[in-house]
Chain A
Amino acid sequence: MHIQLGALDYAILLIYVAFVIGIGFVLARFMKTSSDFLTSGRSIPAWVTGLAFISANLGALELVGMAASGAKYGIAQAHFYWVGAIPAMVFLAVFMMPFYYGSKARSVPEYLNMRFDQRVRALNSISFAVMTLFASGISVNLLAKLLHQLLGWNYDASLWICSAVVLLYVLKGGLTSAIYTEVLQFFMIVLGFAPVVYLGLKDVGGWDAMKGRLVMVAANPAAAGMIDKAGKTYPADSWTSAWHPLLAGPASNPMGVDWFAMVFGLGFVLSFGYWCTNFLVVQRAMAARNMSAARRTPLIAAVPKMLFPALVILPGMIAAALAITHQDGYRLPPKPLTAAIYQKMLPAVAQASSAGLQGEAALQAINTALGSDDAKTYKLNPEKIAAIVADNKSAALPEDTLKTRLQDAVRETDYDGVILSLVKKYCPTGLLGLALTGLLASFMSGMAGNVTAFNTIWTYDLYQAYIAPNKSDQHYAWMGRFITVVGIVLSILCAYLVSQWSNAMDIIQLVFGFVNAPLFATFLLGMFWKRTTGTGAFLGLLGGTATSALFQALSNASGNALGIKGGYLWLWMHKSLADIPQCLQFPSDMAQNFWLATFAFIACLVLTLVISLATRRTKTDEELKGLVYSLTPKVKDEGEAWYLRPAVLGVILLLGCVVLNIIFY
């Protein structure tokens, strides 16, 4: 069942590990001050920070999640790139980077402190620190789970060893080491997965043949194994057009989203909030060697980002196309059965066989043994179960065969397994090692990114600001290293929390949404309106977060029971789904999420505006110089060649985006 790795695969894996650790050790001798370790001493060329910028975001979650969504939603998932990421990255480069870099802030919360006051800084740094740890935990949990399922590696060992490698090179070379290895990892991910995508596309018969098959998927998604869409049909171009199904309304596209929520909620609020304010990515640009390198960082990153859908979303579409015709027996990967589940199933099958149960009765016996929750989770196929029970009757099947067939009888699809199911299908020894190394690289770049952002925020924005100010730089350099170890250990603990308690993941992601959604409003007003006050920003941010929580408590997405995922206030008031007004019911999680962001943003914007007007300014124009648009002398880039000017590059990138949107309309 597991993939067998050859000696060459291990060799490639080891070469990669040796190089990332080697980079850490070589850089270690340049790490003298706390700023060398935590902010790279602002010394890195733009092409390096640019690729690291994109690589820190290209964690395992992105790689696995985008392929999953490619299968679920098709080309429309590219909106996360062509409507979401690119415009936000251009905005960051052209308008926001001059303030971040020019203010000499070492972190995003420190900028908030300069612009507003300590309260806003504390709020942002604490919420960000907690979120990075959880993000890193979720990602390492996912990686260890995949390695366990795919290669049969021990979960705990995978978790600890992978984290130890990251710890080693980050501890040695600090942020520089994280950034340098992220670039290495960027190439590893691209060169590791590109041949898999090529083989997949060739196998389905090329782009046009794939589109033809995706029309069949749209007509009957359940036939491709998308059991969550059972009984639904969509317009023919739902998987192959990005805009047409979207404009036709939420019922006509598999995402269940309307165009306004997509453009405003995702494109404006969520994407700008992420790319322009998240220290994880902004930190990379801040490490650049000078202002123009800092401004070029997001623009350089935008070029590969624009093309990434071909690498990360296309595999999902290929998988859906393969699954609809069951080509070579391919199916979307079923949800993996765990050891504990097998322990419940195996005796139940034996009993059912000896009792001679047939048809539905056989299924019912197994489902009873599983319990109603697990039965609902796995959705076993009645015919396959009946066949297994019947075949097991005459002579007991060998345990391996039995396990394989039971796994095959699971109908629930595990979309997260899509990318690796293709790796498994197409990679011979050699290429297999390369692709797996790419996966490992994506995880490491994500974890190192989170940990280096966390240690800077902790050391400068929490420890130096509130706990122990006025210590020697040596002391902060030591603290930076110490907290790196703590950060990795806490990420591992978060990974165990998420793996042990499945609701944890839902809750964490929910809280992420609450905190992130209003953030961009605060930055927008702070950077472009000098009248914004600290009190306005602080209360606006709190109010925006409260609005998200309230919105979630009152709204519900179709298909979800009332509870953690939405509508808990109704549950608390002992109301049922039918009592919720129509306007608060959304066709999908995604729609609910985009609308939540929209409301939180507007609430934060209005509150900050009103409170700012009602409170007195605490910072003079002079103090806000370099922090607010109207009070800062424009960055002069006339001296640079036209093709290096951020505004020119930004316009070219946006035009590229428009062209892509038209091609895949």
Chain B
Amino acid sequence: MGLDLRWPIGLMFSLIGVLLTGYGALTGSDTDMYKRSLGININLYWGLVLLVFGFLMLLLAWRGKSQVQPTAAKPPETTPAP
């Protein structure tokens, strides 16, 4: 199928990761808010985890693309066999 699933996964988690990390950095001084999460700025740290995961997926997708392209260029665009 013509869509490498790693692109949307990578994009989505990078995007959510940026939002969460940014929010965590902005609200870091709000100790009241993070009392729930045992005083850990969980948004910042987990946002970073998501960001790393997202980038990793994007990296894999990008590498996969550059590997596939030379061979994929050979056969002309055909409709999938029924």
Residues of A within 8 A of B47 (CB): 430
Partner of A27 from the list B1, B20, B37, B40 (CB cut-off 8 Å) is B1
- Bitwise, B22-47 to A at CB < 8 A (1) or not (0) is 01100100000110111010110011
- Confirm or deny: B70 has a beta carbon within 8 angstroms of a beta carbon on chain A: no
The answer to whether residues A11 and B19 also contact, given A43-B80, A426-B36 and a CB cut-off of 8 A, is: yes
Closest to B82 in A: A33
> A191-B49, A429-B33 known; A473 and B82 CB under 8 Å?
yes
Give the number of chain A interface residues (Cβ < 8 Å): 39
- Prevailing SS type, chain A contact patch: helix
Given contacts A41-B80, A203-B38, A430-B20, 11 further A-B pairs with CB under 8 A are A30-B3, A32-B82, A33-B82, A176-B1, A184-B8, A184-B9, A195-B42, A199-B40, A430-B27, A434-B16, A434-B46
**Cα A11 to Cα B53 with chains together (Å):** 19
Which of A195, A428, A431, A434 is most buried by chain B, counting CB atoms within 10 A of its CB?
A428
From 16 to 50 in chain A, residues with beta carbon under 8 angstroms from any chain B beta carbon are 16, 19, 22-23, 26-27, 30, 32-33, 35-36, 40-41, 43-44, 48
Give per-residue flags for A471-485: 1 if the beta carbon is below 8 A from chain B beta carbons, else 0.
Answer: 001000000000000
Q: Are B37 and A427 in contact (CB under 8 A)?
A: yes
Contact pattern, A 169-201, Cβ under 8 Å of B = 1, otherwise 0: 000000010001001100100010001000100
- Contact check: which of A48, A191, A203 meets B5 at CB < 8 Å? A48
User: A8: CB under 8 A from chain B?
Assistant: yes
A467 close to B (CB within 8 Å):
no
Give Cα A202–Cα B16 distance, bound, in whole angstroms. Answer: 25
Contact at A19–B8, with CB atoms within 8 Å? yes
A326 sits at the interface (CB 8 A): no
In the bound complex, residues from chain A placing their C-beta under 8 Å from that of B27 are 430
Q: Which residue of A lies closest to B3 (CB)?
A: A26
Inter-chain CA distance A234–B42, complex, in Å, is 37
Chain B contact-residue range equals 20 to 34
Binding site for B on A (CB under 8 A): 8, 11-12, 15-16, 19, 22-23, 26-27, 30, 32-33, 35-36, 40-41, 43-44, 48, 176, 180, 183-184, 187, 191, 195, 199, 202-203, 425-431, 434, 473
Asked if A32 and B80 sit within 8 Å, CB to CB, the answer is yes
Q: Please give, as numbers and ranges, the residues of chain A lying within 8 Å of B8 by CB-CB distance.
A: 19, 22-23, 180, 184
Contact A428 B12 (CB under 8 A): no
The smallest beta-carbon distance between B27 and chain A, in angstroms, is 8
Looking at the assembled complex, report how far the CB atom of A460 sits from the nearest CB atom of chain B, in whole angstroms: 15
Does B50 touch A at the CB level, under 8 Å? yes
Query: Which 3 A-B pairs rank lowest in CB-CB distance, beginning with the nearest?
Result: A430-B43, A19-B12, A33-B82
**Are A30 and B80 interface neighbours, CB within 8 A?**
yes
Contact of B46 among A16, A36, A44, A431 (CB under 8 A): A431
Q: How many Å lie between the Cα of A606 and that of B69 in the bound state?
A: 57
Q: Which residue of A lies closest to B34 (CB)?
A: A428
Tell me how far the C-beta of B5 lies from the nearest C-beta in chain A, rounded to whole angstroms.
5
7 CB-based A-B contacts, threshold 8 Å: A15-B15, A16-B12, A44-B1, A202-B38, A429-B33, A430-B24, A431-B46
Partner among A19, A22, A35, A202 whose Cβ is within 8 Å of the Cβ of B82: A35
Beta-carbon contact of B80 and A183 below 8 Å = no
Does B23 lie within 8 Å of A430, measured CB to CB? yes
Q: Mark B1-14, 1 if CB is under 8 A from A, else 0.
A: 11101001101110
The answer on a CB contact under 8 Å between A187 and B13 is yes
Q: Which of A180, A187, A431 contacts B42 (CB 8 A)?
A: A431
